[in-house]
Homo-oligomer: A and B are copies of this chain.
Amino acid sequence: MTYCVGVLVQEGLVLIADTRTNAGIDNVAIYKKLHVFEQPGERIVALATAGNLAISQAVVSLMTDGWENPDTGHVETIYDHPTMFKTAQYVGRSIREVYRIDGKNLEQSAGSFDVAMLLAGQVAGGRLRLFMVYSAGNFIEAAEDTPFLQIGEHKYGKPILDRAIKFTTPIPDAFKISLISMDSTMRSNLGVGMPIDALTIRRDSLERDIHVRIEPGEPYFHDLRERWSAALRAAHTAIPVPPYHGKEPL
């Protein structure tokens, strides 16, 4: 399992990903799922991946090494696209290329072609954008009304995002709320685990702002988890108990 969340706000964006992969519950490992492609001043592109590890690794390798665009005959990498929209199309094409190579055999072995990606970033001259690319290679984009996108185990951590994230939320708050969302997910699903990779990008900066790996026991995140637990306890304790009495007819 995996959990990644991307938040696009006025000031910029936040992208966080856990690092746990598992093939069954008895085969657990740590893999980086947050990949950053940066040419400061020219482009900052980040990718967070969920789903089958063989597929997402193949897609990332393909885009890093480059592969030939059948329409132009040119070998293209993820650095070769003039806009984020064209970059998203390239990510989609790369997923379809991996499907072309591996999809049939995967399905014959009762596997499914399961992959999802968050693509975020900005290319000089264009806007900062956040996309979710599906296994079919098509994609949707975050917008002001719905400024976050999630992949992987998204349900446990969604209520806090639904309540707290707005397009006007400052980056540090969006970062903090994303970490709370990650905490809720890790508490309820063993397939999502530490360390956490986190990235922030300021709008129009064309480079990484913060890019950290948060290891188990790291003091701020540990404190955030404790404070959030204590605050939830205080929150439900402060609500009066239900006043209902009586019985409906059967």
Among A137-172, those with CB < 8 Å from B are 155-156, 158-160, 162-164, 172
Among A184-201, those with CB < 8 Å from B are 184, 187-188, 197-198
Q: Is the CB of A241 within 8 A of B173?
A: yes
* A58 at the binding interface (Cβ < 8 Å): no
* A208 at the binding interface (Cβ < 8 Å): yes
Size band of the interface chain A makes with B: 35 or more
Q: Is the CB of A242 within 8 A of B176?
A: yes
Q: Is the CB of A231 within 8 A of B235?
A: yes
Among A46-93, those with CB < 8 Å from B are none
- Enumerate chain B residues within 8 angstroms of A211, measured Cβ to Cβ: 246-248
In the assembly, what is the distance between CA of A155 and CA of B232, in Å?
Answer: 17
- Enumerate chain B residues within 8 angstroms of A159, measured Cβ to Cβ: 156, 159, 184, 187-188
Of chain B, the residue at the smallest CB distance from A189 is: B155
- How many copies the complex holds: the figure is 2
Q: Is the CB of B235 within 8 A of A220?
A: no
* A98 at the binding interface (Cβ < 8 Å): no
* A233 at the binding interface (Cβ < 8 Å): yes
Stretch from A19-27, A108-116, A126-134, A221-229 forming part of the interface with B: A221-229
Residue positions of A touching B, CB distance < 8 A:
36, 38, 155-156, 158-160, 162-164, 172-173, 175-177, 179-180, 184, 187-188, 197-198, 208, 210-214, 220, 224, 227-229, 231-236, 238-248, 250
